Structure 1
């Protein structure tokens, strides 16, 4: 049995490059695949691996005093949900235009899934989705305010839309919590007083609160693309980009110059060969469609043990 782990922790890392090298070696030793971002402000990742390897990884990460408070969101899966291992140093652990914020110093009040559930429908509360449009279009909380963002870095530009709610309790949410840390910190900085965030995000809400009133599916950043969250009152809210029939089957357009994240039903996917339109279908650079609609990024082939060489998963592990 395999597991997929989703996690983040805002905690200062003095030497991100040195940490990345060490952490990359750990992931190789434990046969983990996935995407990990290291920055001066902390650690953010999603990895998959065998259950025993994931258990050891969680133990070792949390043994580091810098990440003692880190919480892993854990899901059981039948196989690896990634094809490569990437461990990269970046300026931030989530791409934003809020480089100055320090969530480990000040951020919105964390709400457990049950606390979020108890508060979300009150008259003095507004629930705010801080994710990108392609994410909330396939799934979101009932009555949530969405911000029409292609990328999280657009969040400060959407502040005007939230000013009418300044006298209410603002409950932010995202997939796993990492975006809410910066979004809620920024809202506090801009004078919003009652700012909260769903601790552990949609994924933890599904695990601990049954996902009640989360309509549709949750977009995730691995080969599954979307996952079921709501076990209480599930529904489908998205429609096929081409024929408009109800569909929560998400794909990336097969034209790499488009690469739109869209719902596309099985029939239209086959007819358009994974493209979002006939124009993209006819593009000379269109990628071959294998039925999944996912196109993993190529590895930079960096292995800290051997330099720039290709990494292959050990025998028996799907790569």
Structure 2
């Protein structure tokens, strides 16, 4: 068995960042110095990231983040891994740390009650409870909590409009959940704003629930935004619920279609993966934009002009001038 000398960190923190662009440069430099790879989003409303690195470097990173009073309450989900889970490093400034368009909602002022994993497990099967999955279709089709209500959305920004369909649940206790907890902060706050009175959220999301509560009653696998694509969560009563997009056999092997013009996230079994060279159909298999399939179904996103070493180059140039 390979040694798990690396860690994968999943985290977010809603806080005020006065100068996001300045902080981006400082934070980017920190990640470069520690050899971390992954995706980090910075906005005026906070920090959202998932990175990988050697265990000791990840420890230094968490210590550095929490040493800043703005991020002292950041809850890191830490998972051991055999290698980096990313190929590159992105640190970007965006309008929101999770794109939903609810700019006026501040989870630090009002949000659903946080439930720790054991509390969520104890409460989720009560008769007066509805478990609400706030993730997108490709995520909950791969895995979800038993008896959870899912929404037909392709992106989280569609969530506010879908809430109109939940009016009949206003007399219920609504337990929201997502991958790491960040979407629930705004989703549960929005539900409260719309007149839902008893709203909760799974603190730390599915990932923390798997780490601390064994993942009981989470059916299927959890879609994750790193090189693993899908992650096993349930160590108590696991169940495969997804089917191969091509042949229909039970499969929780999530891939991106090898055709970059398609790139849909779907389960494809090992046999079909190789037969169709990572594509989701014969059309995509024959497409001129089809990428080389290596058996994983994971492809690094294009940089689109983003220079990951921009800050270090600038700092080096400044130091030479000095």
Same fold (TM over 0.5): yes
**2:313 corresponding residue in structure 1:** 306
Q: Is the 8 A contact 1:173 1:197 kept in 2?
A: yes
Q: Please give the alpha-carbon distance, in whole angstroms, between the structure 2 residues aligned to 1:225 and 1:103.
A: 28
Corresponding residue for residue 186 of structure 1: 190
**Does 2:107 align with 1:107?**
no
Residue by residue, what CA displacement relative to the aligned partner does 1:197-237 show, whole Å, maximum 9, x if unpaired?
00000000001110000000111000000111101000100
CA distance in 1, matches of 2:155, 2:101: 10
Q: Structure 2 vs 1, CA of residues 20 and 247 (structure 1 numbering), >3 Å: closer, same or farther?
A: same
Gap regions ≥5 residues in structure 2 = 317-322
| SS in structure 1 at match of 2:312 | coil
Tell me the equivalent position of 1:234: 238
CA contact (8 A) 1:34 1:83 kept: yes
1:308 positional shift? 12
The residue that corresponds to 1:314 in the other structure is: none
Deviation readout 1:153-196 (Å, 9 max, x if unpaired): 00011112211111000000000000000100100111110010
- The answer for the alignment partner of 1:256 in structure 2 is 260
Matched, 1:288 2:292: yes
RMSD: 1.2
CA deviation after TM superposition for structure 1 residue 62, in Å: 0.5
Q: Secondary structure at the match of 1:223?
A: coil
Aligned residues: 309
TM-score (norm 1): 0.95
Listed as ranges, the matches of 1:53-132 within 5 Å are 53-132=57-136
TM-score scaled by length of structure 2: 0.94
Secondary structure of 1:69's match?
coil
In 1, Cα distance between equivalents of 2:160 and 2:212? 31
Query: By how many angstroms is 1:285 displaced?
Result: 1.1
Match of 1:276 among 266, 277, 280: 280
Moved over 6 A (4+): none
* Structure 1 gap ranges (5+): 310-319
Is the CA contact 2:219–2:239 (under 8 Å) kept in the aligned structure 1? Answer: yes
